[in-house]
């Protein structure tokens, strides 16, 4: 069997893990061998959930090449929503900074400049990424195996727009993560992919275009976790407070 066919089977396995019963891990032959195979599996999974509402992009460091995954539109919820249902099993949350694409950035031969990409953004907001998985414990599987499952993406919550975001020194930006009214952590300039968020956006607009087909008006781009994964329980509320933003919250019913 060719690898393309195996990766299609891998996508089906992970979809069953999401919808029916989580699995421990993939078998060796089912696991993606590189990012090309990871992206093929991600795209197949995302197609099953309908329209792509945006992209999550991050990097291991401020200089490493970024990696990115689609975010299903169906998984995007309004700030303050009470989340319920079997889909919310792990209840992971991460504090992030996200951008709303204000006009199409179609794929083209000439690379977009940082200024062009910045000018195409309609808004910058605090966000909460929800983490879910096809795996019983996504932290216990190999990195590419975890990446194939939409990089643990389970949902997206956008907060209110941040004014004058272009003038913010993100390296000095502080975020508080509050759970049930108690301060869980405070971090400053803590995005692993670096605080040059335009580097990530520009990469997605240029190098990422072969995969995305170009960024589209109305899509959201989230740019990496500032707090790492925090795992909640039913009935708990998470609130994210960046220095320059209004609080953003989500509750698990």
pLDDT in tens, 193-251: 999 999 999 999 999 999 999 999 999 999 999 999 999 999 999 999 999 999 999 99
What does the pLDDT read at residue 173? 98
What does the pLDDT read at residue 146? 98
User: CA–CA separation, 60 vs 99, rounded Å?
Assistant: 20
Q: DSSP assignment of the chain, as one string?
A: --HHHHHHHHHHHHHHHHHT--BS---GGGS-SSHHHHHHHHHHHHHHT-SEEEEEEE-SSSSSPPEEEEEEGGGEEETT-EE-STT-SS-EEEEEEEEEE-S-EE--SSPPPHHHHHHTEEEEEEEEEEE--SBS-GGGS-HHHHHHTGGGEEEEEE-PPPTTGGG--GGG-EEEEEETTEEEEEEES--TT-S-HHHHHHHHHTTTHHHHSEE-TT-EEEEEESS--EE--TT-EEEEEETTS--EEEEE-
What does the pLDDT read at residue 15? 98
Q: Average pLDDT of 146-161?
A: 98
- Across the chain, what does the average pLDDT equal? 97
Query: What is the model's pTM?
Result: 0.97
pLDDT in tens, 160-202: 999 999 999 999 999 999 999 999 999 999 999 999 999 999 9
Q: Percent of the chain scored above 90 by pLDDT?
A: 99
Residue 1 pLDDT > 80? no
Q: Average pLDDT of 105-109?
A: 97
What does the pLDDT read at residue 116? 98
What does the pLDDT read at residue 106? 98
What does the pLDDT read at residue 64? 97
Q: Average pLDDT of 67-75?
A: 98
What are the residue ranges spanned by the domains of the chain?
Answer: 51-252
In CATH, which superfamily holds the domain spanning 51-252?
A: Fumarylacetoacetase-like, C-terminal domain (3.90.850.10)
pLDDT in tens, 10-64: 999 999 999 999 999 999 999 999 999 999 999 999 999 999 999 999 999 999 9
Question: How do 76-78 and 153-158 pair as beta strands?
Answer: parallel
């Amino acid at each position: 069997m060719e690898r393309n066919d195996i990766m299609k089977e891998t996508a089906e396995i992970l979809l069953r893990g999401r919808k029916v019963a989580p699995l421990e891990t993939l078998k060796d032959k089912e696991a993606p061998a590189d990012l090309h195979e990871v992206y093929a599996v991600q795209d197949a999974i995302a197609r099953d959930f309908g329209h792509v509402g945006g992209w999550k992009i991050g990097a291991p460091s401020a200089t490493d090449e970024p990696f990115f995954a689609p975010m299903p539109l169906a998984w995007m919820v309004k700030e303050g929503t009470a989340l319920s249902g079997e889909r919310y099993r792990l209840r992971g949350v991460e504090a992030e900074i996200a951008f709303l694409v204000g006009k199409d950035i179609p794929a083209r031969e000439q690379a977009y400049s940082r200024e062009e990409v910045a000018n195409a953004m309609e808004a910058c907001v605090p966000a909460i990424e929800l983490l879910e998985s096809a795996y019983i414990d996504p932290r216990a599987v190999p990195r590419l195996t975890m990446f194939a499952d939409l990089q643990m993406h389970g949902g997206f919550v956008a907060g209110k727009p941040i004014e004058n975001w272009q003038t913010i020194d993100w390296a000095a930006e502080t975020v508080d993560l509050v759970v049930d009214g108690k301060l869980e952590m405070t971090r400053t300039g803590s995005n692993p992919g670096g605080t040059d968020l335009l580097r990530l956006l520009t990469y997605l607009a240029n190098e990422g275009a072969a995969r995305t087909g170009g960024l589209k008006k109305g899509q959201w781009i989230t740019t990496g976790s500032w707090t790492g994964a925090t795992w909640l329980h039913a009935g708990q509320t998470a609130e994210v407070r960046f220095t320059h933003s209004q609080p953003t919250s989500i509750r698990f019913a």
